Structure 1
Amino acid sequence: MGTRTRKRTPTDGRQYSVEAEWTEADLALLEQLKAAEALLPNDAPRALLSVRLSVLTDDTTSPVRQELDLRLLARERGCRVVGVASDLNVSATKVPPWKRKELGSWLNNRAPEFDVLLFWKLDRFVRRLSDLSTMIDWCLKYGKNLISKNDSIDLTTTAGKIMVTIIGGIAEIEAANTSTRVASLWDYTKTQSEWLVGKPAYGYETTEDENGKVVLAVDQDARRALHWCRDAAMRSTPVSARGMVKVLVRSGLCGPGLTASTLLRRLRNPALMGYRVEEDKNGGVRRSKIVLANDAKPIRVAEPIFTAEEFESLQDVLNRRGKDQPARQLGGATQFLGVLICDDCDTHMTVQKTTTKGRPYAYLRCSKCKAGGHGAPNPDGIYSKLVDDVLKVLGDEPVMTREYRQGAEARKEQKRLEQAVSYYMSGLEPEGRFTKTRFTKEQAEKTLDGLIRQLNDLDPDSTQDRWVAVHNGKSFRTRWQEGGMEAMSADLFRVGVRCRIKRAKVRGVRAPHVHMKLMIPKDVRDRLILKEDDFAEKF
């Protein structure tokens, strides 16, 4: 492609998510292809280009080349390019097409805008057979076609469908082999005292020894921070984790994003003794455990920051001060999370539970006001008031479901009627075939009038692929009565309904006065329309 000197964004105005440069020759070819598209008829098939890349290297096909190749393919097939879905630095193995930022937006919300999906190669599109099967089902449902630049894929033929399945199976095998190689490398790495791959634990950094081999070295700033935290925790009046975070951030030893939970996790990591560790997935608590070698001894990979005695004494202190967290409630402790907003700091209201003298208390608090603001002590009462207010405003709204309607049949009917009208109009011209007798002329005129009425009665919208809202026979009151507060909370959050909570201190009363203000978007009826998930587990 020559030396790249100019940068350019794709046709839809959004930049590629990794750096991609266009040469003068690339831009000249792009203009030629656009000029050719301008000559296509209005009813030319509409093509969406899918460009994907995991990592941009010299050995991969650049997004620029992929787009140009696909535009050439679109010209060969007489398609008009309506958009470019560019998803770069995205793994096809981990992220299916409908979950990618660009392509997923087209598939889930903009299906009426294209007829065919073009991609450079099947492994640039999917790498799992199950994902390919899902996309085939989706295309058949919505009347779309899949076409690959470098594979014999065409869903309009039986052979094309079979070829897609075979190639998809090969791509999945290749991806599985890659996954196996990576897993094998990690398993081997765990048994070695050398540092081969991976991100070191907090407190360590990678460097090279005199032989050029990668080794772990102690980060001196992190060492100072960890030892200060241990000393602060071992005092007769220990410093809390929150207090430690404030000191570390203020001193510059740690960044402003440090939290108390992250700091405690760092202090509990046995890697601080210089041992190799792995994640302990048992117990539901995020912890690390020491990896043992074949001789049942820990594998040392670096100089220790804490001795075994220092580390164990620190763990004893942290365990004595630690609090057992209450069992996680189904659906979370806070109902209407994301809907209830603090009017003072604009953050979410959450339920915090405490126990005083054996009696449990629950308060609605926010995150930015000092000490959570004036905690509202009756979350259930606020929930109940919110439910009543929402039902008064939105309870009688009909539940509408978005459905996809194809315009292919209506377009065929429109074309048939237009051809028939032209046929009878030409026949009624002087010396035409229907003007030879009065009877044939009257019959032709009557037929022509009928055809024109049918053509006028044909809804222009019905000739387009489109979304339509269909009433499913229920109101939202019924829907929420059947689904409970969880269903109402999900719907309110989805459409952008918010309730601002204002708390004011009342003289002589411990509990604050709570004022609730319901905020409903102007286009709430359009937002309430339910959208079917075409990529749910049923596929």
Structure 2
Amino acid sequence: MTTSRTHRPRRAVIYIRLSVYRGEADPTTSPASQEARCRAYAESKGWDVVDVVRDLDVSGSDKGLRLDRPGLASIRERFHDVDVVIFAKLDRLARNVLDFNRFAEEARTHDVDLVSVAESLDLSTPGGRFVAQILAAFAEMEAATIAERTKLGKETAVTKLGRYGGNTPPYGYRIVEHPSGRGSALEIDPEEAAHIREAARLVLDGGSLYGAAQMLNETGSKPHRAERWGWSTLRAVLVGDAVLGRVKHRGRLILGDDGLPEVRWEPIFTLEESQRLRAILARPSDLPKDSPARAVAEQEHTTRTRAARLLSGLLTCSGCGRPMRAGVFPRRGEKVGRYVCSAEGARCPAPVTITATLVEDYVAEVFLGMAGLMPVFEVRTMNRDAAEVAQVEQAIAETTDELRAPDADIAALVERLTILRQRRDELAAQPAEPEVVKVDTGEMMAARWEREDVAGRRALVHSVLTGPMTVHPGKRGPKRLDPDRLDIPWRWEDIDVDAEIADAARVD
């Protein structure tokens, strides 16, 4: 100690902390009770209490502010004016050894002693510091135990008692009180469910995700975690598990005794509707390699890719046979949309360009004139048991993971695996090839054209072509399209229309 400190009473600051402040009525850890014990100790030592610093409703655990608590931070800033810091109990100061040692070292460098009243510890001595570290370790273990009990309690509420453990419900649902009167549950939100069912109907009828998302935005609907609907946000909802009334915990579906996903809430879609949506919206990477379903999905993914313009990817240059690309190019002081040969440099002996609006308007006019009154058929490649196969495979994988847990119920899990494998064998015995289903949508090509976006209209045109259209060089003259510049391989020109009308009307 410095000489000046030895000739005057020691200046003490009392520190009080309470994680949950219930008022002064709490006889054990209330601020008044803590202060009284600390003042009594200071009086017995002849110390002057110069201040009482409080952190109320402030946690001392790792998830709290730790040493950055407002009150404790103020003490650290005034170490130079203090001789001793008194607290009622060690865990009032720190909940883990690391924080305790850090604070104690700061105090020591400023020649400030720490005193814990409940443990009668004077940390100015080596023995006191040793015992304090042991007690701090126990406080850290107690905090971890409390956190683990809280965590297990939440898990039990979600996995065993059927409560909803989230703060934001999935789209199409709202949070309500659980029937037991404790915790939360989910119920269908009629307005949101109607929106998502309409979006699903549009997709099932052959519309694009982009168009369905635009429809939702126009109705004023908003997703729960974004300002507007986009195609990726909508896809996540349509192919998700929540619309089937299923719940995930820690990224895994909650399973029943049979190993299959439990249905906790009323589903928005039937399993068959969900299967159809997942088949249509499947990304190739979602499916097993070398499977027929993946080959179909890769083809559909390519043809459904959103185009920049109506005929992007459908035109080729007569000079070299390479695809033509769409772009905006300057012409007489204005920017004009054009399709140009994609060959670079001198690789094309006679590169072709054509005004985008002229060729698009012409193709659209011919298409609607010839195919406008044709019915729209959809050819869907599906495996009617694909959804259940995926459920069973996922359940087997998750049950196998559960077997590795130290506290696993081996007998129950083995019984579940046996049931799941039997069901998988039953499904494997069924035909593996996807079933091709032709569906009459009840809509005419012209009506579908009116409600589609650019990508959807491009798919309609593509569906009635046998190959790409070839563009020939034009002649100088009026700004109109010479039909002779285009070779369009329409399906109906070389085939029996009556025999192939469904294929001619197919939408990829």
TM-score, normalised with respect to structure 1: 0.40
TM-score after normalising by structure 2: 0.42
Which of the pair has more CA radius of gyration?
2
